[in-house]
Amino acid sequence: MALNPSNVRVIDPILSTHARGYKQATMVGHALFPTVPVFVSGGQVLEFGKESFRRYAARRAPGAATKRIEFGYLGKPYALVQDSLEAPVPREFMRDASRVPGLELGTMAVNTTMSGLLLNLEYERAAIATNATNYGVGHKVALAGGTKWSAATGVPLTDIDTGVEAIRSTIGLRPNTLLLSATAWKSARNNPQVAARIYAGLPDADRGPITLDQFKKAVDLPNVVVGDAMEALDDDTFSDIWGNNAVLAYVAPEGMAAVPTPSYGYTYTMEGHPLVEQPYWENGSKSWIYGTTMERAPVLTGMAAGYLFQNPN
List all residues 6 or more positions away from 244 whose beta carbon is below 8 Å from its beta carbon. 181, 183, 184, 310, 311, 312, 313
274 and 3 Cβ atoms separated by less than 8 Å: no
Q: How far is CA 297 from the centre of its chain?
A: 12
239 and 251 Cβ atoms separated by less than 8 Å: no
Neighbours of 163 (CB within 10 A): 25
- Residue 121 inside a domain? The answer is yes
* pTM across the whole model: 0.81
Provide the residue range defining the domain that includes 35. Answer: 5-49+75-310
Cα–Cα distance list, 185 to 170, 194, 244, 283 (Å): 26, 11, 10, 49
Question: Which residues does the chain have with pLDDT short of 70?
Answer: 1-25, 46-59, 67-75, 95-103, 255-261, 302-303
135: domain CATH number?
A: 3.90.1690.10
Output the pLDDT for position 1: 40
- Residue 279 inside a domain? The answer is yes
- Residue 65 inside a domain? The answer is no
Give the C-alpha separation, 107 to 209, whole Å. Answer: 37
- Residue 62 inside a domain? The answer is no
- Residue 58 inside a domain? The answer is no
Output the pLDDT for position 58: 67
- Residue 55 inside a domain? The answer is no
- Residue 70 inside a domain? The answer is no
Is the Cα dihedral 25, 126, 292, 267 positive or negative? Answer: positive
Would you list the DSSP string of 254-270? Answer: TT-TTSSS--SEEEEEE
Give alpha helix (H) positions in the chain. 5-21, 103-129, 156-171, 182-189, 192-199, 212-219
Output the pLDDT for position 51: 58
Structural domain count, the chain: 1
- Residue 252 inside a domain? The answer is yes
Output the pLDDT for position 6: 38
Give the C-alpha separation, 183 to 150, whole Å. Answer: 9
Give alpha helix (H) positions in 59-133. 103-129
